[in-house]
Amino acid sequence: MSALKVMGIAQQTSGVTEMSDLMSVEWEKWLEQEKSNYQAMEKQLADLTNGHVVAGVFQYREFWAHANEVAEKIKTITPLPEDDRERLQEEFQRICRDVKRRQAEERDSRRAESRQRRETIERKIAEARSCAESAPEDMKSLNKAQALLGEALAMLKEGTPQKADPAKEDSAAPTPAEVAPAGGGLLREDRQACWDKWRQANDFVFGKRQAIWNRDYEEVIPKVKEAVAEASEGDSFQALDKIKEVQALLKKAHLSKTQREEIRGMLNGAWETAIGKVNAVRDEKRRKYEEWLSRMEANLQRWTEELGKNKEMEAQLEAEMAQIKEQIQTAKSREVTDALREQLSQNRQKIASLGRLNKQLEEKIEAVKAKIGNN
């Protein structure tokens, strides 16, 4: 055999060996990819089973969305042996069956819970309606009915039977958004049924309460207007008395918040008007009193000074009379004696006149002091 032929055969043998080695490597890669795909799908199934619980609650919507993705991947992922694909599909179907069963059981449980809670709320609403119907003109009974509706409203809002404030008194009913939040153990149809009955009962109670409010309002408002008119055009002190009378009536009257605020606003305005006039009268009286007091004090001072001067004059006249009497004793002629006696008589008249005047002054002074003391 020639050297060239030997070299050709050697080259062919080397090429077959290289091809075989390459196919072996590719086959190992293929098997490794199948294993990797199978493990990836097993992880997807594990995530599907355990990855949709939030705060202890299974999220079904997210599960089924994820399940659709997983189902598509099981169908299309390659490379993957058919027997492995079948095992994955069987496990996937088992997981879905378990979730469907659990979802159905929870749905039935929620439906039963919702029905039970609906019956509880409807009984509360029926009790409120019955309470209002039994005494439609008794505000205490209507308040009790409103309180019961408040409890039912709290159950609608929170899903728990707790006490709640009655609905706003000037509003027949809140909006559906106020009473229909998500959750609370009520399904949509049960919640809507409760809401419809609650609103009907609340409208009925509100109508009865409104009738009583309007009745008491019509009884009180004429007296309010009378007090306002008196404050504006009449006697201010009488207006204040009338306002106080109306305020006493308000304590017993049943009125809505709007009606009560309206009346209080009118009374406050009337009170301000009347008290302004009363203060003006009092200020005028005070001014006049101060003027009178000033005059009395001036008179008192003048009369006191005049009385003092008169008493000094009396003392002088009495001293003169003593001298005149001594002169009469030593007089040497009848003419001198008669003149002295005439002067003595005049002094006596002056003293008597001063006495009368001083008595009047003293009476005036005592009267003024008494008036000032009493005031």
pLDDT of residue 178: 41
Of 88 and 19, the structure prediction assigns the larger pLDDT to 88
Q: What is the DSSP letter of 54?
A: E
The mean pLDDT value of the chain amounts to 85
Q: Average pLDDT for residues 248-273, to the nearest whole number?
A: 94
Q: Is residue 7 part of a domain?
A: no
Q: How far is CA 372 from the centre of its chain?
A: 54
Task: Answer yes or no: do 199 and 235 share one domain.
Answer: no
Q: Dihedral through CA 178, CA 180, CA 184, CA 185, nearest 10?
A: 160
Residue 34 has pLDDT above 60, yes or no: yes
Residue 166 has pLDDT above 50, yes or no: no
Sign for the pseudo-dihedral over CA of 220, 221, 222, 228: positive
Task: Answer yes or no: do 180 and 250 share one domain.
Answer: no
Q: How far is CA 194 from the centre of its chain?
A: 28
Q: Average pLDDT for residues 229-244, to the nearest whole number?
A: 92
Residue 160 has pLDDT above 70, yes or no: no
Q: Could you tell me if 340 and 324 are in contact, meaning their C-beta atoms sit under 8 angstroms apart?
A: yes
pLDDT of residue 14: 52
Q: Is residue 12 part of a domain?
A: no
Lowest mean pLDDT, pick from 26-35, 60-69, 226-235, 254-263? 26-35
Task: Answer yes or no: do 120 and 207 share one domain.
Answer: yes
Task: Answer yes or no: do 206 and 164 share one domain.
Answer: yes
pTM check: above 0.75: no
Q: Could you tell me if 263 and 250 are in contact, meaning their C-beta atoms sit under 8 angstroms apart?
A: yes
The type of residue at 5 is: K
Helices (H), 135-235: 139-158, 176-179, 188-233
Q: Is residue 9 part of a domain?
A: no
Q: Is residue 308 part of a domain?
A: yes
Distance between CA atoms of residues 195 and 121, nearest Å: 10
Work out the pLDDT band at 1, boundaries 50, 70, 90.
very low
Task: Answer yes or no: do 120 and 59 share one domain.
Answer: no
SS3 53: strand
Q: By residue range, what is the domain housing residue 183?
A: 113-211
Cite the beta strand spans of the chain per DSSP E: 53-54, 57-58
Residue 174 has pLDDT above 70, yes or no: no
Task: Answer yes or no: do 65 and 145 share one domain.
Answer: no
Residue after which a domain boundary falls, among 183, 211, 239:
211
Task: Answer yes or no: do 295 and 315 share one domain.
Answer: yes
Q: Is residue 11 part of a domain?
A: no
SS3 34: helix
Task: Answer yes or no: do 259 and 296 share one domain.
Answer: no
Give strand pairing partners of 53.
58
pLDDT of residue 302: 93
Closest by CA to 243, choosing from 232, 258, 228, is 228
Residue 359 has pLDDT above 80, yes or no: yes
Q: Is residue 354 part of a domain?
A: yes
295: its two tokens:
């005059």
pLDDT > 90: what percent of the chain? 53
Q: Is residue 8 part of a domain?
A: no
Q: Average pLDDT for residues 251-276, to the nearest whole number?
A: 94
Q: Average pLDDT for residues 235-239, to the nearest whole number?
A: 91
Residue after which a domain boundary falls, among 177, 192, 211:
211
Task: Answer yes or no: do 68 and 107 share one domain.
Answer: yes
Of 158 and 320, the structure prediction assigns the larger pLDDT to 320
Distance between CA atoms of residues 340 and 334, nearest Å: 10
Q: What is the DSSP letter of 58?
A: E
Lowest mean pLDDT, pick from 156-160, 202-206, 210-214, 237-241? 156-160
Q: Is residue 2 part of a domain?
A: no
Task: Answer yes or no: do 369 and 316 share one domain.
Answer: yes
Work out the pLDDT band at 49, boundaries 50, 70, 90.
confident
Q: Is the peptide bond before 79 cis (omega within 30 degrees of 0)?
A: yes
Residue 225 has pLDDT above 50, yes or no: yes
Q: Could you tell me if 60 and 103 are in contact, meaning their C-beta atoms sit under 8 angstroms apart?
A: yes
Through-space distance between the first and last CA atoms of the chain, rounded to whole angstroms: 162
pLDDT in tens, 9-18: 444 545 555 6
Q: How far is CA 334 from the centre of its chain?
A: 110
Residue after which a domain boundary falls, among 182, 211, 240:
211
Task: Answer yes or no: do 42 and 63 share one domain.
Answer: yes
- Total structural domains in the chain? 4
Residue 219 has pLDDT above 90, yes or no: yes
Task: Answer yes or no: do 227 and 140 share one domain.
Answer: no
Q: Average pLDDT for residues 113-135, to the nearest whole number?
A: 92
Give strand pairing partners of 221.
none
